[in-house]
Amino acid sequence: MEQRMLTRRRMMSLTASAMVGAALKARRAYGERLSEGKKSGFKIGACDWTLGKATNPASIEFAKGLGLDGVQVDFGSPENDLPLRKPEIQQQFLEAVKAHGVEIGSLAMGALNQVPYKSDKRAEKWVSEAVDVCKVMGVPVVLLAFFGDGDLQGDKEGCKATIDRLKEVAPKAEEAGVILGVESMLNAQQHMDILERVGSPAVKVYYDVGNMQHAGYNIYDEIRFLGKNICEFHAKDYDDLYGKGSVDFPKVRQAMDAVGYRGWLQIEGVKMPLGLEESVRYDVEYLRSVFPREV
């Protein structure tokens, strides 16, 4: 009897391992499919809220004037009922993209910092709708923010609820070819725990180098650890203009090279000592020297 129980446990363990392996393999294949046809280098964008034009189609023309490849567009505030969900606002953005030749690299749902995904039914509905908006606008990534009221640190129940909700929406995201990017103050291992428990290739980590360094993590090791489970990056330095502060962007590039990352870096500015436009121009020029369009 004891031998049979051990055998059964062994079989269950092997089955669980196979399921995890299959999920990880599917996640890698999914990311590779989304990357097909993209250029081999990097694109430099900026968050529309950093440009002072949150959820405003004027951010597209403004970004072009600053030499950016694109923008990350926020859904807007809960007080305004997340205006990017409105078809007329989506259309205005698409027309601006066509007119000015600047891309929308990704979308962002910063409202989750006020209306937590882990505990508010409205947030659950919004994330599901975000997949639809991404599909309409032809944008492959939406950042899901977990800061402020939505913080997951030390919140075991909140993490479990987040995982359960991500499991529900992930199949819809997979079918639409959309990545849900989890951005939080959790460390790399904690992020991986969430991804593995969700078990979907449509859920990845949105990595902010400034936030993670500010939290005390070794960002260069974390990037290597997370590898292809990172969908996109925020470029940020809490201390100064890029290249003058504490984030070693050449080392970030080395870590990206090690895991094969190519794609967007979105400027989320903190230090703007030269004024908004001058500081962004400086940061764009510096980032292009480290992260060129073609490699």
**pLDDT in single tens digits along all 295 residues of the chain:** 434 333 444 444 444 444 444 444 444 444 444 444 445 899 999 999 999 999 999 999 999 999 999 999 999 999 999 999 999 999 999 999 999 999 999 999 999 999 999 999 999 999 999 999 999 999 999 999 999 999 999 999 999 999 999 999 999 999 999 999 999 999 999 999 999 999 999 999 999 999 999 999 999 999 999 999 999 999 999 999 999 999 999 999 999 999 999 999 999 988 999 999 999 999 999 999 999 999 9
What are the helix and strand counts (H, E) for the chain?
Answer: 10, 8
Which of the following CATH numbers is that of domain 2-290: 3.40.50.300, 3.20.20.150, 3.20.19.10, 3.90.550.60? 3.20.20.150
Q: Give SS3 for 69.
A: coil
- Locate the domains of the chain by residue range: 2-290
CB 200 within 8 A of CB 167: yes
The CB-side HSE value for 183 (13 A sphere, CA atoms) comes to 27
pTM for the whole thing?
A: 0.87
Q: What is the pLDDT of residue 40?
A: 85
- Residue burial 100-131, b: 16+ Cβ < 10 Å; e: rest: eebbbbbbbbbbbbbbbbbbbeebbebbebbb
Q: Give SS3 for 237.
A: coil
